[in-house]
């Protein structure tokens, strides 16, 4: 069954957690004891059943009535499995939004029908496009509070479309909903007969994601070398990892980077036995016909379709740490399964995520800020542009002293 990962984004109090609670509740994806716990907590707070409590798991979140951390929820329908990342709306939690959206196939941007498009709506749309989320659904929520007025929906839709022309968004859809009452969430709403599109759940079930992955450029970062020590498999040598791009089949000619040695794929094994072909995001073990020196961090790809090997990296960087970026600072860089040390050689500009203005006089990035940087690494990395492959085009920076992840980067 196909898996869809989607992230919610929107301003504070736009109803993201309520929407997810409604999705889980109306699609019968929560257990009775979970619902009982939410009802008890709601009674203690003197309010009606608050479905937002299904996702706001931290005590601090419940007390403040806001989402702080990324909450992951899982549910399934007969058509698809889903992983939801409920990301915070506050500007000081931009890094959490980046974390939640980085692996998403689809982003849900919520807009309060009463307030229309606000600064945070633009920021979330920009971040979703920066992170190359292939599909964006704009849910115009709280339609019940504007009398289910079609004119309000159309006005917000028109304004968002005109802003989105500045961004790189491949697929954009608009759905008018009321998360509190369930209008157009799982079932079509009788209150908005003027809306002829699908409900949100139907759209999530039907959106086409199979072609979003790069099936052209074969990329296989080696994570682990498997050499069993028992008699039955004494001559077995396999390379385990997750396919990052392309389609690999037994018999294909491949090259191993950085050595440049070529071989052919003898077989592809999985936990369920051998397969004829492998594609993203399958985790497999690849066996080669020749005994080559291959280790963790190496990349298996096609001889005539190789990633760029480079020690000089240009990237958009989102700063995730309380400690500001150090000019010419040194960090560990982790890219696919490969690790090296890196120095930040230049900050070309800092980007204002609300206005898209470039500040070329900036000399550092602080928490939640995004900028274009240049890096120099101690060992070559095998990279693709982030727009071409989100796996081989992304990396993280790690502080040498504390081992904290300080930044997430997208390569150009």
CATH number at residue 312: 2.40.30.10
Question: Which helix or strand (DSSP H or E) is residue 162 part of?
Answer: helix 150-164
The pLDDT of residue 57 is 52
295 and 321 share one domain:
no
- Do residues 350 and 268 share a domain? no
- Cα 214 to the center of its chain, rounded Å: 15
CA distance 133 to 168: 10
What is the span of the domain harbouring residue 330? Answer: 308-411
Which of 186, 212, 238 represents a domain boundary (last residue)? 212
Among residues 280, 301, 322, the one where a domain terminates is 301
Output b/e per residue, 302-320; b: 16+ Cβ within 10 A: beeebbeeeeebebbbbbb
Q: Are residues 197 and 124 in the same domain?
A: yes
Same structural domain for residues 314 and 243?
no
The total domain count for the chain is 3
Considering only CA atoms, which of 94, 99, 77 is closest in space to residue 85?
A: 99
Query: What is the sign of the dihedral through the CA atoms of 67, 69, 70 and 72?
Result: negative
- If DSSP codes are grouped into helix, strand and coil, which group holds residue 64? helix
Predicted confidence (pLDDT) per residue in 188-242, tens digit: 989 999 999 999 999 999 999 877 888 899 999 999 999 877 666 677 899 999 9
- Place 62 in a pLDDT band, splitting at 50, 70 and 90: very low
- What is the CA 389 to chain-centroid distance, rounded? 13
Q: What is the pTM of this model?
A: 0.82
What digits encode the pLDDT tens for the residues 269-290? 999 999 999 998 899 999 999 9
Residues 297 and 325 in one domain: no
Calpha distance 66→158 (Å, rounded):
29
In CATH, what number is assigned to the domain containing residue 145? 3.40.50.300
Measured at the CA of 368, the angle between CA 367 and CA 370, to 5 degrees, comes to: 110
Say if residue 23 is in the same domain as residue 123: yes
Residues 227, 185 share a domain: no
Enter the tokens of residue 259: 């050595």
Same domain, 279 and 312: no
């Amino acid at each position: 069954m196909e898996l869809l990962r989607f992230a919610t984004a929107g301003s504070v109090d736009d109803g993201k957690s309520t929407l997810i609670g409604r999705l889980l509740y109306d699609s019968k994806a929560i257990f009775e004891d979970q619902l009982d716990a939410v009802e008890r907590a709601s009674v203690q707070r003197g309010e009606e059943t608050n479905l937002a409590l299904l996702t706001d798991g931290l005590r601090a979140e419940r007390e403040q009535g806001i989402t702080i951390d990324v909450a992951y929820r899982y549910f399934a329908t007969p058509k698809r499995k889903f992983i939801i990342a409920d990301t915070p709306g506050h500007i000081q939690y931009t890094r959490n939004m980046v974390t939640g959206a980085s692996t998403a196939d689809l982003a849900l941007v919520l807009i309060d029908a009463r307030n229309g498009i606000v600064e945070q709506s633009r920021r979330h749309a920009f971040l979703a496009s920066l992170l190359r989320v292939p599909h964006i659904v704009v849910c115009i929520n709280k339609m019940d509070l504007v009398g289910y007025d079609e004119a309000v929906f159309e006005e917000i839709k028109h304004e968002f479309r005109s802003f989105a022309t500045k961004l790189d968004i491949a697929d954009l859809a608009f759905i008018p909903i009321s998360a509190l009452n369930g209008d157009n969430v799982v079932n079509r709403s009788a209150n908005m007969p003027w809306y002829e599109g699908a409900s949100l759940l139907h759209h999530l079930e039907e959106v086409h994601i199979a072609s979003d992955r790069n099936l052209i450029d074969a990329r296989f970062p080696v994570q682990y070398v498997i050499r069993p020590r028992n008699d039955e498999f004494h001559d077995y040598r396999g390379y385990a990892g997750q396919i990052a791009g392309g389609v690999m089949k037994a018999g294909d000619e491949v090259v191993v980077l950085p050595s440049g040695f070529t071989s052919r794929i003898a077989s592809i094994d999985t936990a369920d036995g051998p397969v004829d072909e492998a594609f993203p995001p399958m985790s497999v073990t690849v066996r080669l016909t020749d005994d080559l020196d291959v280790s963790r961090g190496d990349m298996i790809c096609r001889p005539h379709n190789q990633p760029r090997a480079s020690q000089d990296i240009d990237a958009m960087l989102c700063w995730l740490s309380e400690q500001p970026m150090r000019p010419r600072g040194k960090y560990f860089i982790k890219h696919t399964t490969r690790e090296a040390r890196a120095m930040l050689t230049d900050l070309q500009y800092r980007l204002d995520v609300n206005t898209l203005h470039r500040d070329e006089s900036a000399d550092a990035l602080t928490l939640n800020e995004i900028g274009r940087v240049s890096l120099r690494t101690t060992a070559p990395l095998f990279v693709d542009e982030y727009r071409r492959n989100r796996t081989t085009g992304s990396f993280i920076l790690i502080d040498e002293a504390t081992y904290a992840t300080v930044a997430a980067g997208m390569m150009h």
